[in-house]
Amino acid sequence: MKRGEKGEEQAVNHLLEQGCRIAERNWRSGRKGEIDIIAYDGEVLVFVEVKTRSRGSLGGPLEAVTAAKRKQLTRLATDYLYRTGLYGRVDCRFDVVGIMSAPGGVKLEHIRDAFRG
């Protein structure tokens, strides 16, 4: 299992522990790109970007999500909402889950509503 896949698995487990329901994993919209995880947190639909970083990487998980990546994820989320008939019918947010290798294991950082503000 690659590092990114391992990180996504850890993120899914974390979300499940937080009471989320996983709706999709690695959802693709043709060649436009992929959303790592789509989940429900109660009635809120959450689009989750997972960033796996090795020890010594500069910056945290949020810094790893560039403006271009945010724009791409927003477009993908809109596409998902239209395709599923959910556009305008659910509240949504974007979360970033960072998985960073740390001494003795991994450190997980979950940033809720990461694109707001």
Q: Please write the tens of the pLDDT for every residue from 67-99.
A: 999 999 999 999 999 999 999 999 999 999 999
Reported confidence tier of residue 18, pLDDT bands at 50, 70, 90: very high
Angstrom distance (rounded) from CA 67 to CA 8: 21
* CATH number corresponding to 3-111: 3.40.1350.10
DSSP state at residue 96? E
The dihedral over CA atoms of 53, 57, 60, 61, expressed in degrees to the nearest 10, equals -30
Query: Where exactly are the structural domains of the chain?
Result: 3-111
State pLDDT tens for residues 37-47: 999 999 999 99
